Structure 1
């Protein structure tokens, strides 16, 4: 049993489901994604132009691009060794080969696919990294405490967030919103750190299931409504899902061991906010999907996101080491909730235009 064999199985799954034939860097440049070149141009087009772009992502999400998936897989490959090291350092090393592989699952949760002869594939939605990056870039560009003056005003931020959520909900893991300009300084450092930490938490949750022996009690569950048709996963039950969240959070908190008080005061709030951001986005996307009449694959395998958030916050509150550890997470949740009314307005306009 080797990780190399799991890579072959992952590639076979991508190929069999007609996502891509390979994850090698493309020999020829792929079409460059549309992007804004300056922050003043973000969402500055006339409203009908912006509306047409949202509608186009719904009806023509586009193909899965090997080059984009290659970059996402490289990101996952870079994150996995640290988690496996942490599992070993915590006294519970994994004896089963594991590989995190990018795949259009349609859900923000990782999907564990065990193979008794190879190990476990952790399938990570192709849309996850794009959504995390887009939401965090928008937030840091719009809020003044990450730099003054803000790079985006409220109307710009609401449209950009609507575009990111629209691509996630309707794009089958292939659609990408128009790319934002590059960030710099504190904003860039925060986004880079939080995307990395949030993605690690998704992987750590699945690793936690293995550490806790949950596969022994798991049952097979098939979702018929993923972007690539029916997919199998394992159902563990809600108590074990909460347990996996707690184990994963503990693994992530161990990455801060050895930091001095000043460093801990900076890094712990970012880490906690990143863990909870995954669940915040899960809650928002599930809520919007329900309002729009869209199916959420594997929705019944996990507790409702609100319950997971409450349970994890209570767990973290007794284990964090700095007084401000939960403050950034609260700011993120408040900002996301404040934007939802305008996001819904854009979605209603798209619905009318497509009727």
Structure 2
């Protein structure tokens, strides 16, 4: 089986699950947008709550152009990831394809297909959430640019819209898009988003190269955005091993840099690798508070345990003394806003049917 065979299987899966009939390119401007930064959180509270409720009542449809763009992004990062894996000493002999799909989970899913190929399904909602959160963060924190583009209140509201869309929009619809970033902020969000998604895919590829899938058990979850979906569960020890292997693979992005450049780039790389686990922790806590289903819950260790284990692994291997500081700042910044996001969620009143 070749990668093109996997690509056809991916499109067939999208069609079979009635997501979209195919992945067609084209403009997709159906999402609403804030045109200026001052517009963010400028509406009355009642209007904002109505918008949260409206998304929950009528999540939008999946759109082929939007999914095509997400798939194009995955295609662009995959070759570099295979190169990094080879540098780390692993060569994938099994054809693989990172493929966008609404799994409803922030973890990737390995889906073996006949002919020794593996589809790595990456959640469409994750591919929206990561750059959205990074945009808010870089717009709100002063060390990414002065003056900040967003106040603390505006940042909290923007995060509320994003997590509301992720948890209730089935990965099909996004929040109000923020204005376009420029300069250093834009470059930083692009680079961090790429490395974050690469880490998610690298984790799944690590299962393949380590032979974990041979010993996996089938796990069927009916609570995904597209109904019952199969995955493979390899056990918590192997999940931790895949995190460590993925971190080793990603560390090779620093190989050709001078020590001075490593000191600049390594903190961002470490932050990008830990970001999906921070977001997983935040979405899990919101889901628990509001009694929402989390697909494939329990197939991976709790995010807190994964964070602790990965930080311990990285602390002995990073090349710069302050490499973990940025990740700690990101975790604290998200944690500080969780209660306020929860409060917005609590205020949404769903009318009795």
- TM-score, normalised to structure 2, is 0.98
Distance 1:284 1:121 in 2: 27
Q: Residue 347 of structure 1 corresponds to which residue in structure 2?
A: 345
What does 1:1-355 correspond to in 2, within 5 Å? 1-26=1-26, 29-350=27-348, 352-354=349-351
Distance 1:266 1:68 in 2: 33
Partner of 2:134, secondary structure, is helix
* Gap runs ≥5 in structure 2: none
Partner of 1:299, secondary structure, is coil
User: Aligned-pair distance for 1:32?
Assistant: 3.0
User: Aligned-pair distance for 1:90?
Assistant: 2.3
User: Aligned-pair distance for 1:264?
Assistant: 0.7
User: Aligned-pair distance for 1:186?
Assistant: 2.0
Distance 1:326 1:15 in 2: 42
- TM-score, normalised to structure 1, is 0.97
Distance 1:280 1:302 in 2: 14
Give me the CA root mean square deviation: 1.1
CA contact (8 A) 2:103 2:224 kept: yes
CA contact (8 A) 1:2 1:118 kept: no
Distance 1:354 1:143 in 2: 37
Partner of 2:327, secondary structure, is helix
Q: Deviations over 1:198-237 (max 9, x none)?
A: 0000000001001111112111111111000111111100
Distance 2:186 2:329 in 1: 18
**What is the number of residues matched between the two proteins?**
352
Partner of 1:127, secondary structure, is helix
* Gap runs ≥5 in structure 1: none
